[in-house]
């Protein structure tokens, strides 16, 4: 079994004064099509198809075919919601998007013992905010939002010798510490909400994460200023330990705020753009 991922970038243009929606197809699919006009909206949708590739061509499904599937099935639904009901929650729209893309993929996928089927659909509304639905949890959506904060730390384990610490942690064992611009991304799983009954939303996630994580650790020396990572009382502030600590702090707050109808699924911490850790994995 293979998974093939395809990211489709697209624009939802505003209506013209006469009520018509501009239909220019655009040529630059890298930047998103159709070509943006006026104050358009830019979105990205990633479709994940799973199955066995054709033994001759090596293709599960052509990426151009996957583009067509997303553009024909998902984009009209997003466009209609943006123009007719712009207050619609993306969480509420995800089941219809998934069903439409899944049905169109079944029509277009090449036949075979294990033809391409939709495994996951993820919609980025901004570069940092996304919603996702995956098989087989069709009654659940995953809400993600990224945050950032700046902090200093020193990687040092008191029970090890100074030489051992320098060998293991290198420059990160600098006695005065060093800093990072951290990014974090909590992923919250919740039941698909019905209109007017949202147990937990983006504003709730932002409020809790800002209060419990960002305000608590931003512009701190983690070893010196926080009990979670103090050398005498806490853990070594690696991103592995940070991901678990942040998860443990945020998970019960989300459970309480949603009356048990939303759950923190994972916490990802980026130390740099090349290094990240997710807990639990």
Active site residues: 172, 219, 271
Q: Cα separation of 132 and 180, whole Å?
A: 29
Q: Cα separation of 112 and 110, whole Å?
A: 7
DSSP state of 55: T
CB 77 within 8 A of CB 89: no
Strands (E), 85-229: 117-126, 129-134, 140-145, 147-153, 178-191, 220-221
| CA trace torsion 144, 147, 151, 155 (10° rounding) | 20
What's the angle, vertex CA 119, arms to CA 115 and CA 122, rounded to 5? Answer: 135
């Amino acid at each position: 079994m293979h998974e093939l991922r395809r990211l489709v970038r697209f624009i939802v243009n505003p209506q013209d004064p006469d009520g018509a929606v501009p239909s220019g197809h655009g040529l630059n699919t890298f930047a998103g099509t159709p070509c943006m006009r006026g104050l358009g909206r830019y979105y990205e949708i990633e479709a994940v198809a799973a199955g066995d590739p054709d033994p001759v061509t090596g293709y599960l499904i052509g990426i151009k075919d996957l583009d067509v599937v997303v553009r024909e099935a998902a984009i009209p639904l997003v466009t209609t919601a943006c123009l007719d009901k712009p207050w619609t929650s993306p969480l509420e729209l995800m089941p219809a998007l998934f069903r439409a893309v899944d049905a169109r993929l079944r029509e277009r996928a090449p036949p075979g013992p294990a033809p391409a089927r939709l495994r996951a659909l993820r919609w980025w509304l901004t570069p940092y905010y996304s919603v996702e639905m995956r098989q087989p949890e069709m009654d659940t959506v995953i809400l993600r939002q990224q945050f950032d904060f700046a902090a200093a730390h020193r990687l040092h384990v008191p029970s090890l010798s100074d030489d051992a610490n320098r060998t293991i942690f290198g420059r990160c064992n600098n006695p005065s510490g060093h800093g990072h611009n951290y990014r974090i991304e909590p992923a919250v799983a919740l039941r698909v909400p019905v209109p007017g009954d949202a147990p937990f939303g983006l504003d709730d996630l932002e409020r809790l994460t800002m209060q419990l994580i960002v305000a608590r650790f931003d512009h701190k020396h983690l070893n010196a200023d926080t009990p979670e990572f103090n050398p005498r009382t806490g853990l070594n502030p690696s991103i592995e330990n940070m991901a678990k600590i942040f998860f443990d702090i945020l998970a019960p707050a989300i459970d309480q705020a949603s009356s048990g109808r939303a759950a923190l699924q994972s916490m990802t911490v980026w130390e740099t753009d090349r290094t990240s850790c997710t807990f639990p994995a």
